[in-house]
Structure 1
């Protein structure tokens, strides 16, 4: 994909004499793999806010941030990784982008990483090996379907059951043909609500 090659070109030019041979291509290659995994978990139809991820997505994004941090400390290049909460129309399959603040590839013209069909197939295959039990902390049966669900907010108390409004919401979504989505979970005997995510298993 041209945008991935552009990222390699720009980073190579920016790190001449400071980056070991192959470190730029290794970085971009690994980031493209992580981008593919993130896109497999959250395709273009799903919108995400920075930090509003499933645990599996958070794991992939943290790994990507760590790679960039190591590259930045090794080269002293000011490069920043960002998550695309909406997949850009011009860069299909891009969940990750790199920005070099103060350069032509800053916020207005970042380096988008895109997923290739091969990387996406590999990401789906890797995701298929993850068991449903590892992906979701809770399960419920709704309309004769097994539903996995998680609470996304880190400060949420232990919630073991879905409230009536959440159950009705999932029922409605299933009737309309949806197989996953976001939740607003209310704590019993309280007005507190927390963000969650559900998926038909």
Structure 2
């Protein structure tokens, strides 16, 4: 029979683990609980990494218990990948705040465990995708509400008063000379770009800006 390990995490040294430890100790002996006081934004935490490498590494048949899913990671995509990792190596993850994951599974009924893990992964995928769409929607709404700079056509941040995005391409010092030669068909556009040191996209952007501003 595999071992059962608990994992508890808080984000900073000032916070305490008491509530998580009290909940975990109903299922796991104190000496089998791994802890971290580190942000959940990434997975580079000493305690957590010890569950995946070294003497304390979890292997097939083991069980990992956490108070809530965000103790593994606050990033939904990372949490999903971690569940997939543990499922792939045959480690069961139990989450105290999700009673479905705590149910006893009869011996030989591994398909039930796979089903529970797959449901968790699908739910996380859906949540992560919805969060991404919400963020994109808010960003688009924010950009749409920004005023536009008449000269560059770029959006202006209300907070900083500066244009958002890449700085606009500047006119080279010898712009007018080669622009006129190109317009008079004395040189090709490619030749003008070479002399001005511009790429096609930048060249034609400047052409439009120059002609609109005259």
Asked whether the two chains share a fold, i.e. TM above 0.5, the reply is no
Going by fraction, where is helix more abundant, 1 or 2? 2
TM tier, smaller: under 0.3
> Between Structure 1 and Structure 2, whose CA radius of gyration is higher?
2
TM-score where L is the length of structure 2: 0.25
Going by fraction, where is strand more abundant, 1 or 2? 1
